[in-house]
Amino acid sequence: MRPPMTTSTPKQLLHLVFGGELTSTDSIEFKDLSKLDIVGMYPNFAEARRAWAAKAQSSVDNAQMRYFVVHIHRLMEPDGQDN
């Protein structure tokens, strides 16, 4: 006899991907905050990393352009686990 099938939705672990041009290659200070590129919000790290990699690759010719992945879920539940 098979156990009953359960339907569960994986917990969302929200991630934000964004980037912009930095003032220099050795700092994390943006030249112009009004020109930040907000790539999007993603439900897990794997999808966010794919979006980050695509944007980082597209800006490879500009050494001062950087993209980042922010773990929004950690900000929303700072005492929580990444389960």
- The CATH number that applies at residue 58 is 3.30.70.2400
Contact in structure between 69 and 35 (CB atoms under 8 Å): no
In a domain, residue 8? The reply is: no
Q: Which domain holds residue 58?
A: 15-76
* Angstrom distance (rounded) from CA 9 to CA 6: 10
Whether 5 maps to a domain, the answer reads: no
Amino acid code (one letter) for 56? A
Task: Answer whether residue 63 is part of any domain.
Answer: yes
- What is the model's pLDDT at position 64? 95
Q: Residue 24 falls within a domain, yes or no?
A: yes
Question: Can you give the pLDDT at residue 47?
Answer: 97
- Written as one letter, the residue type at 74 is R
User: How many domains does the chain contain in total?
Assistant: 1
pLDDT (tens, 9 = 90+) of the chain, 83 residues, equals: 665 666 656 678 999 999 999 999 999 999 999 999 999 999 999 999 999 999 999 999 999 999 999 999 988 887 765 54
Residue 81 lies in a domain: no
pLDDT at 77: 80
Helices (H), the chain: 45-58, 72-76
